[in-house]
Amino acid sequence: MAIRTLSNFAAGEAANPLIPHTAELIVGFIAFSLLFLVLRSKVVPMFEKAFAERTDAISGGIERAEKAQREAEIALAKYTSQLSDAQGEAQKIREEARVQGAGIIEDLRTKAQEEAARITAAAVASIEAERQQAITSLRNEVGTLATELASKIVGEALDDQVRQSRIVDRFIADLEKSK
């Protein structure tokens, strides 16, 4: 049997493994084409879709993160500049307030001094007037009293010391009674 096979091979008959078979050629062609069509239409596009989506998911995520970071930086710069503006503003307002406050205090002091001066002057004038009035009335009264006293003294006996003293006392008592 072994010899028969060997002789077959040597003779290059059906056993020659290099000679193709028509049926196998046809089947190989059809089977391979079929597989090619299936893989090309069903499998390759789906895998490519998955790859593309994955790439997109990864690079899209990075892009979004970068965008968010850029926005955050812009916002930070904006807030920083606003903050420094506000600080400058506050400084200016404080400065103005200080100046205004100083002005107000100065005004008030001036007014108070004026008022004080005015009140003092009024008081001085009033005192002077009252003094003049007192002097005038005193002068009148003293005159009257002196005249009255003189007349009374003259009316009594002026030589008697006791009597004279009594007259004076009575005059003063009358004076007090008349008040």
Binding site for other proteins (CB under 8 A): 1-2, 5-6, 8-9, 14-25, 27-29, 31-32, 34-36, 38-40, 42-44, 46-47, 49-51, 53-54, 57
**Distance of closest approach, residue 47 Cβ to other proteins, in angstroms:** 5
d(CA 155, CA 171): 12
Q: With respect to other proteins, which residue has the nearer C-beta, 31 or 127? A: 31
Q: With respect to other proteins, which residue has the nearer C-beta, 41 or 132? A: 41
- In the block, tokens 């490519």 appear at 48
Q: With respect to other proteins, which residue has the nearer C-beta, 2 or 162? A: 2
Q: With respect to other proteins, which residue has the nearer C-beta, 6 or 158? A: 6
d(CA 92, CA 158): 93
d(CA 133, CA 113): 30
**Distance of closest approach, residue 3 Cβ to other proteins, in angstroms:** 8
d(CA 59, CA 51): 12
Nearest residue to 11 via CA among 19, 20, 23: 19
**Distance of closest approach, residue 69 Cβ to other proteins, in angstroms:** 24
Show the tokens assigned to 60. Answer: 């899209």
Show the tokens assigned to 149. Answer: 């006293």
**Distance of closest approach, residue 42 Cβ to other proteins, in angstroms:** 5
